[in-house]
Structure 1
Amino acid sequence: MTTAFVTHRDCRLHDMGAQHPECPDRLDAINDRLIAAGLDVHLEYHEAPQASMEQLLRAHARPYLETLADSAPQQGIVHLDPDTAMSPGTWNAALRAAGAGVLATDLVMQGQVANAFCAVRPPGHHAERARAMGFCFFNNIAIAALHGIEAWGLERVAVVDFDVHHGNGTEQILAGREDVLMVGSFQHPFYPYSGTGHAAANMLNVPLPAGTRGEGFREVVGTLWLPRLREFAPELVCISAGFDAHAEDDMASLGLVEADYAWVTEQLMRIAADSAQGRIVSMLEGGYALSALGRSVAAHIKVLADL
């Protein structure tokens, strides 16, 4: 079986203004690198559908969704906070980004593909049940995980977040659920300045000091993440794949490189092979140094596709 690559051209229409780091060029950088590396011909391409209201409501409050829809401008840019803004293309882009995770979950659960990577924007892991923040509107990974539970009857879904920022929204939405285990690492202290307090039993948060490089990250994964994941024995592994912990990404201060992303992907592939029939849904989160983003995603996908 192949690896699915789920995306949609609407995801390029979300525009938060000139010089904003979460820009449409991010998807172009990924596509260009996959072509340059010869990986594109090995993937099965799928267009992301729009997520339905039923699917969004698994993770978000209805009044929030209604307010967000009403906030979408017909022209110009509307700021929801200093970092997060809506343009005329944002609503459809966000629906496609959330829908990509739903489709990817369906594809792996049907056995149509071995795993899937969703090249979408806006990202999602900062979006809380009733709040957009940190460039995020819908919590794409939580929606995918909950789709696996609600639509496919899964009893154990793992969410793994290696973005440089804590996935506060994902934690808020999924905390306390016995059918979900979330493990994550992130730079601390750093935006959104969360993840270090008392966490629910199904949350494993590992803050990393600025300057942490690949060796420190791998130690965290090997000694903390993997034992918890093996014990949990997930039936589906969902990845919040942020690549902004890369050494070249100057929005943060960690020091990972492509080999670290390939290595952690290999470890998660083994977890998925042991208990989840290999099923992985990986969704793009951060990553703003365009060359590093393209190379890191290519390294991640190369392992997913077993190339």
Structure 2
Amino acid sequence: MTTLYVSHPSALDHAMPEGHPERADRIRAVERALEDERFAGLLRGQAPKAEPSVPTLVHPVPYVQALIEASPTDGYVQIDGDTLLSPGTIEAALRGVGGAVHAIDAVMAGECANAFVAMRPPGHHAERMTAMGFCVFNNAAIAARHAREAHGASRVAIVDWDVHHGNGTQDIFWDDRAVMYASTHEMPLFPGTGTTSERGNHDTIVNVPLRAGDDGPVFREAFEAGILRRLDAFAPDLIIISAGFDAHHLDPLGHVELTEADFGWATRRLMELAHRHAGGRVVSVLEGGYSLKGLGLSVAAHVDALMGR
């Protein structure tokens, strides 16, 4: 099974102040994990830089233009309490978008079975008109819309297991019949959204909240009953994973007690569903994960599963 790994050195240039959890060392931890000899069979590609028009698949033109114009030549521009622009942010963000779109193109064309895109900043908190929660452009949402418009995908599922709810992705697809957004996440926790009653205008939003202290068995039961059954009924022809790894028990920003084995299990279960409905097509994009050790272990388990192990 051929897996494409997509990244780019610009992900390191999205600089954050000392002590900020969304730091360049996250990408270094991913790279170290995937240097292991068992990943020698990965296809490796660099994320192309998307044109500024590409984020407008889900974000209005004025939003994209305002962020580009706000980009500093030195120092930082504060978007909110957690989200900043540095001189390298827009380049990294556009390559994050480009990497996600490139992965969609490769998987839809049959050039690889599946793909993992490791870029930063992450994306799932970015709403149509609001950058927040470390996120600038919503990579997973842009990838889903690109799959629909460029490749004719009729039903796309986005599965988000980040410990924080992907309010941005939910906002973007609230009124979209053709995209199902399904999320497990800790509640209560930032950003405060993601209750089971938030279902979208066409019942295509699926929220399965977890509580602080929930462990692997609780997560697996919730994932099976709350998400996989709904996805099976939806029968997507592409699955996109918002792959945040901050529900790992080592992570400093969450309180869910998962291990890397749980992420491997969830990946395999989604792959089984993708083989049933989507010709095996899966594209995964990195979201959170702020323990460097937990992130490295989790990425290795996730990519192992993508590679069919």
Verify same fold: TM over 0.5.
yes
Residue 207 of structure 1 is matched in structure 2 by 209
Aligned-partner Cα distance in 1 for 2:253–2:38: 28
Contact 2:208 2:227 in 1 (8 A): no
Deviations 1:145-192 (A, max 9, x none): 111001001100000000000000000001121111111111001000
Residue 70 of structure 1 is matched in structure 2 by 69
Contact 1:13 1:89 in 2 (8 A): yes
Aligned-partner Cα distance in 2 for 1:66–1:223: 42
SS of match in other structure, 2:256: coil
Residue 174 of structure 2 is matched in structure 1 by 175
Residue 2 of structure 2 is matched in structure 1 by 2
Contact 1:16 1:84 in 2 (8 A): no
Contact 1:78 1:85 in 2 (8 A): yes
Aligned-partner Cα distance in 2 for 1:251–1:228: 28
Percent sequence identity is: 48
Aligned-partner Cα distance in 2 for 1:202–1:176: 8
Q: Size of the alignment, in residue pairs? A: 306
Q: Which runs of 5+ in 2 are unaligned?
A: none
Residue 11 of structure 2 is matched in structure 1 by 11
SS of match in other structure, 1:278: coil
Match of 1:280 among 268, 282, 297: 282
Aligned-partner Cα distance in 2 for 1:56–1:250: 30
Aligned-partner Cα distance in 2 for 1:92–1:232: 36
Residue 246 of structure 2 is matched in structure 1 by 244
Aligned ranges for residues 31-70 of structure 1 at < 5 Å? Answer: 31-36=31-36, 38-70=37-69
Residue 165 of structure 2 is matched in structure 1 by 166
Deviations 1:230-264 (A, max 9, x none): 11111000000000000011211000001100100
Aligned-partner Cα distance in 2 for 1:160–1:54: 25
1:40 Cα deviation (Å)? 3.1
1:202 Cα deviation (Å)? 0.5
TM-score (norm 1): 0.98
- Residue 264, structure 1, aligned to residue 263, structure 2: no
SS of match in other structure, 1:26: helix
Q: Which runs of 5+ in 1 are unaligned?
A: none
- Residue 226, structure 1, aligned to residue 228, structure 2: yes
TM-score (norm 2): 0.97
1:54 Cα deviation (Å)? 3.2
Residue 184 of structure 1 is matched in structure 2 by 183
Moved over 3 A (4+): none
Aligned-partner Cα distance in 2 for 1:79–1:198: 30
Residue 23 of structure 1 is matched in structure 2 by 23
Provide the aligned C-alpha RMSD in A. Answer: 0.9
Contact 1:247 1:254 in 2 (8 A): yes
Aligned ranges for residues 26-175 of structure 1 at < 5 Å? Answer: 26-36=26-36, 38-175=37-174
Aligned-partner Cα distance in 2 for 1:233–1:161: 17
Q: What amino acid is aligned across from residue 16 of structure 2 in structure 1? A: M
Aligned-partner Cα distance in 2 for 1:34–1:198: 37
Contact 2:198 2:207 in 1 (8 A): no
SS of match in other structure, 2:107: helix
Aligned-partner Cα distance in 2 for 1:15–1:108: 31
Mean Cα deviation higher: 276-285 or 198-207: 198-207
Aligned-partner Cα distance in 2 for 1:180–1:223: 20
1:195 Cα deviation (Å)? 1.4
